[in-house]
Chains A and B, each alone.
Chain A
């Protein structure tokens, strides 16, 4: 670059600054003092606000205001979610899924003896079913990305019945219940679902992984599967299906996690 060009460049750049106003230094000092006072007050407000948040009463393991925003988020996203589905993949993409949690499935189980209790919102027993009922429902395959709340995911091939097809058997009896809960036979693991999520066409009562019946570690003989909530909601070894008018208890929501856990 030759000298005159540099000068032009310098003038051009300086001109960009000259639009902005100037004030006398005396005026600057006055404003400067005010600015620093406002800044200090702002910093103080941040510290006070942070401590207020940390010292708030705890609701299931997290400060109440954070629990409230999780519920706000649920209200925002559950309204948006209507009609949305996760993509489904070709069979060739499916991989075996890792075993992550064994809470509620550690006891011995006799698969031939297994039944699931179906309970109404007043605790009444609606049914006690063995596997044949679920095998008799319309069967479908679903190759979806199962997402763990820890951050890993894998594409899994599930086979089984839609929850919505199962629910059709009881729709008249239970009416417009807003929730349904699931429990392992030993009662140690339990999850709560909102009815719209449960009725989603990708919410499956899974009997198979690939062509094979579920193995014990993956929730034999019957488990939940969905691409639309984190894996913590996909309870293995279902022992009880309970319709509810209030939010059912949820193992991980009681341990600081989001109750909705929707994707």
Chain B
């Protein structure tokens, strides 16, 4: 991650635009440094939280998909616990969860504050065309439609999924605190219908973030190197100023 400052970037721009021919490629800043750091710090923290959280869940693994007494999928089969060493480790799971939980929550809070303060949220929040355009993005990604709908920094499907992730992250932190200190933070558990309700919500938000993570990684792979690189360096290469080719636009939501 580079040590450039916004002023450096701005002055570099002033020099370039004067001399730049239409065909000369330039690199455009798409991910500010703070976003890059917060994104990459979040990654190991989220992994540690899911891993230690599943060690806690193991001790009372009561959730399943199904209707009534018919269970289609039970969270989780023994093979899953054994493969990832999640079984019989409740105490260690709690120790990790209640250590790294602080870092996860603080990193998320800084991220939210940054989005609000810099108005970066305007790139992420879906606008009124988002639902229709997101459908077209999905059809495009499934190779049913040729043309991608127009987009800014992120396409409509990205906006919707990134916003959903932020909402899920907020819910997972709040429900986590409700389970962690139900008396001291009372009436927080009531937001989720009580202590067990908070536990259920916390679990499903974990599943939601886990699914997002899988799709996210898949889409980054589909989008290619330039997209991945932009979250490390901050920049994407543009062929010329009239053709804003963010690598993301080739792949869809990353």
Contact = CB atoms under 8 A, between A and B. Distances in A.
B129 A35 contact: no
A91 to B, nearest CB: 18
Interface string A69-104: 110010001001100111100000000000000000
A66 B16 contact: no
A62 interface: yes
A20 B29 contact: yes
A31 interface: yes
Contacts of B186: 84, 86-87
Interface in A6-31: 6, 9-10, 13-14, 16-17, 20-25, 27-28, 31
B13 interface: yes
Contact of A31 (B2, B56, B181): B2
Contacts of A44: none
Contacts of A150: 59-60, 90
A177 interface: no
A9 B150 contact: yes
A255 interface: yes
Interface size class of A (residues with CB under 8 A): 35 or more
A21 B122 contact: no
B30 A20 contact: yes
Contacts of B24: 24
Interface string A19-51: 011111101100110111011001000100000
A69 B28 contact: no
B27 A25 contact: yes
Contacts of B12: 21-24, 27
Interface string A119-153: 00000000000000000000000000101111111
Contact of B183 (A67, A152, A227): A227
A67 B95 contact: yes
Interface in B175-208: 181-184, 186-187, 194-196, 199
A80 B92 CA distance: 25
Interface in B83-101: 90-92, 94-96, 98-99
Interface in B24-76: 24-30, 40, 44, 56-57, 59-60, 62
Contacts of A209: none
A17 B153 contact: yes
A31 B99 contact: no
B11 to A, nearest CB: 9
A23 B57 contact: no
Interface residues of B, number: 61
B182 A34 contact: no
Contact of A62 (B92, B129, B233): B92
Nearest to A227: B183
B99 A66 contact: yes
B152 A17 contact: yes
B234 interface: yes
Contacts of B96: 66
B238 A22 contact: yes
Interface of B: 1-4, 6, 9-10, 12-13, 16-17, 20, 24-30, 40, 44, 56-57, 59-60, 62, 90-92, 94-96, 98-99, 102, 122-123, 129, 150-153, 181-184, 186-187, 194-196, 199, 229, 232-235, 237-238, 244, 246
Given A23-B13, A34-B2, 15 more contacts: A13-B150, A14-B150, A17-B28, A22-B29, A24-B12, A24-B16, A24-B24, A32-B229, A34-B3, A66-B99, A77-B184, A81-B184, A86-B183, A145-B194, A258-B94
8 contacts: A9-B129, A13-B152, A22-B17, A32-B2, A46-B44, A61-B92, A69-B102, A151-B60
